[in-house]
Amino acid sequence: MRNWHIAVMALSAAFTAVCALAGSGGSGSAPAAGIIRLDPPQPQTCVAVRVEVPGDKMVTGVRWYNGTATAAFPRLLVASGTQVAPPPLTEAVALADSVPGQEQQWSAVAFAAPVASESGTLFIVFEYPAQVSGAGIGYAPEPGEYPYFVTGDGERWVRVDRGWRVLLEPILVDRVPGVVTLREAGQDEAAMAPALPAGLTSAPNPFNPQTKIELSLLQAASGTLRVYDVRGRLVAELHRGLFAQGANSFVWNGRDGGGRAVASGAYWVQASTDDLTFTRKILLLK
């Protein structure tokens, strides 16, 4: 087995990135030549990649080439892409937990909530499982430089410049009105996290044939409650008008605005007022 070794230094912490040869494969994208990981593993090993997010798009998940199916990534996070390096993990937002992948194959995961970018870029961060051989994201050698970032403690990042393209791709769909946007921290508008919706619930979830959606507000407000598909297309508008202070309850029966039953799969419920937007992913199973 052929190995590539990279020595990198982050302040007082030294890391060695080891890319162990992996099998080929893919779903219409480049096969992997190896898996990027840190050896030895650090207390909070992470790899971050900056991705482009056009202003008319939002990210609903990611695809990546996965090293091993024997362990899940503890968290997948997203952070503002306006800085030279990713911010500390405390400033990133976890959008998926216990993320599994297929054995040496392209894999995919949907976010708990969609996210857009004010700057046109975001950092996608994979938190690695501890002490798992072969766990990580794949790479493919290509001409040119494809920088990515590594950390061992979640605070200090090291930029790695190599002729390796990290096999990670955002899942982009058309942006829907009101989706929360990540902005740079430390300015007049603090970094806004994607809505992990504190005021919007749905139960049961997954559901069949219907689910109860509840929106809680601190004060009365006018707005809308809508259901979108994963491509950002409007499926049904459940409410338009005044929401009462406190709990507002609605039922979605898995039908579109024309009364037609929709297909099984993931959908986004979004409640919007003049001041607030809440988004929740729901799953219809038939």
pLDDT at 30: 62
Q: Where does the pLDDT of residue 194 fall: very low under 50, low under 70, confident under 90, or very high at 90 and above?
A: very low
Domain annotation for the chain: domains and CATH numbers = 3-182 (no CATH), 200-284 (2.60.40.4070)
For residue 216, what pLDDT is reported?
85
Q: What is the pLDDT of residues 129-153, one digit of tens each?
A: 987 778 899 999 888 778 899 988 8
Average pLDDT over residues 270-283: 83
- Quick one: tokens of 65? 């080439």
Q: Residue 126: pLDDT above 50? A: yes
What confidence tens digit (pLDDT) does each residue in 212-261 have?
A: 999 888 777 888 999 998 878 899 999 999 888 788 999 999 999 999 99
148 strand-pairing partners: 160
Cα distance between residue 48 and residue 18, in whole Å: 16
Q: Is the peptide bond before 100 cis (omega within 30 degrees of 0)?
A: no
CA 171 to chain centre: 9
pLDDT tens, residue by residue, 6-40: 223 222 233 333 333 333 334 445 678 888 877 77
Does the pLDDT value for residue 109 go beyond 60? yes
Whether 101 shows a pLDDT value over 90: the answer reads yes
d(CA 226, CA 240): 9
